[in-house]
Chain A
Amino acid sequence: AQKITQTQPGMFVQEKEAVTLDCTYDTSDPSYGLFWYKQPSSGEMIFLIYQGSYDQQNATEGRYSLNFQKARKSANLVISASQLGDSAMYFCAMREDRISSGSARQLTFGSGTQLTVLP
């Protein structure tokens, strides 16, 4: 079963508007972390925001906020006041605390959402 699901292959948003990128996850581990990364056309993966499973409040980082709904196992990324430079691929990822093999905790990624900001 897929651990991270991003159901929006592509999204469009008008400049200066807010946009929500969906992410749902699947885990039986009570301790886990959720991450969002941005990948511009240059290829580099840029870390945006983190949410821990035990965090009581939704994470915020500048124009980025994470709408964390633990019971629904969703961790949607909200980008406020979109800018043209926000056009990129966005990936949701999860790291579980339980180590299933070896001694390193792995990041598992979703398939990504291509966001295009329109002028």
Chain B
Amino acid sequence: ETGVTQTPRHLVMGMTNKKSLKCEQHLGHNAMYWYKQSAKKPLELMFVYSLEERVENNSVPSRFSPECPNSSHLFLHLHTLQPEDSALYLCASSQDRSVNTEAFFGQGTRLTVV
């Protein structure tokens, strides 16, 4: 496998459910990111992991909980979400050594909270 893979592609969950989004990269990158993309809004950076340590948390509500067990895997644990959390969640990875390294994205998980 190559690139960045996200599962599931689609997820519908109730507000009391607990679910997890998974991201896997096989590019040997040392940084991984979670972005949220809501309709008609720019991509919002949620979390950044560099060398498996969380280095950025952009005021994301605690109902979103990231986990990075190793450099290839990134999870986003979800619990007691709200309908406004419905969005496309994108995972990305990059080799964080300079400005000229592009980020590679997965296909995203389209989340609907009902």
Q: Interface on A for B, CB 8 Å cutoff? A: 4, 31-33, 35, 37, 42-47, 50, 52-53, 91, 95-97, 101-112
Q: B41, B55, B104: which contacts A47 (Cβ < 8 A)?
A: B104
For the complex of A and B, list the 3 residue pairs with the smallest distance between their C-beta atoms, beginning with the closest: A102-B55, A45-B105, A33-B99
Mind listing 18 A-B residue pairs with CB under 8 Å?
A: A32-B99, A33-B99, A43-B110, A44-B105, A52-B99, A101-B56, A102-B48, A102-B54, A102-B56, A104-B48, A104-B49, A104-B55, A104-B96, A105-B98, A106-B33, A107-B94, A111-B41, A112-B42
B74-100 contacts to A, CB under 8 A, are 88, 90, 92, 94, 96, 98-100
Q: What are the residues of chain A within 8 A of B105 when measuring CB–CB?
A: 37, 44-46
CB distance from B82 to the nearest CB of A (A): 22
Q: A4-B42, A47-B102, A102-B56 are in contact. List 9 more A-B contacts (CB 8 A).
A: A43-B90, A44-B108, A50-B100, A97-B99, A103-B55, A104-B96, A106-B33, A106-B56, A109-B43
CB atoms of B43 and A95 under 8 A apart: no
Closest B residue, CB atoms, query A4: B42
Closest B residue, CB atoms, query A107: B103
Rounded to whole angstroms, the CA-CA distance of A50 and B100 in the bound complex is: 7
CB atoms of B55 and A111 under 8 A apart: no
Q: Is chain B's binding surface mostly helix, strand, loop or mixed? A: strand
CB atoms of B50 and A106 under 8 A apart: no
Rounded to whole angstroms, the CA-CA distance of A35 and B99 in the bound complex is: 10
CB atoms of A43 and B107 under 8 A apart: yes
Rounded to whole angstroms, the CA-CA distance of A47 and B33 in the bound complex is: 16
Q: What are the residues of chain B within 8 A of A97 when measuring CB–CB?
A: 98-99
Rounded to whole angstroms, the CA-CA distance of A111 and B43 in the bound complex is: 7
Q: What are the residues of chain B within 8 A of A32 when measuring CB–CB?
A: 99
Rounded to whole angstroms, the CA-CA distance of A37 and B102 in the bound complex is: 10
Rounded to whole angstroms, the CA-CA distance of A102 and B90 in the bound complex is: 21
Q: B99, B107, B108: which contacts A95 (Cβ < 8 A)?
A: B99
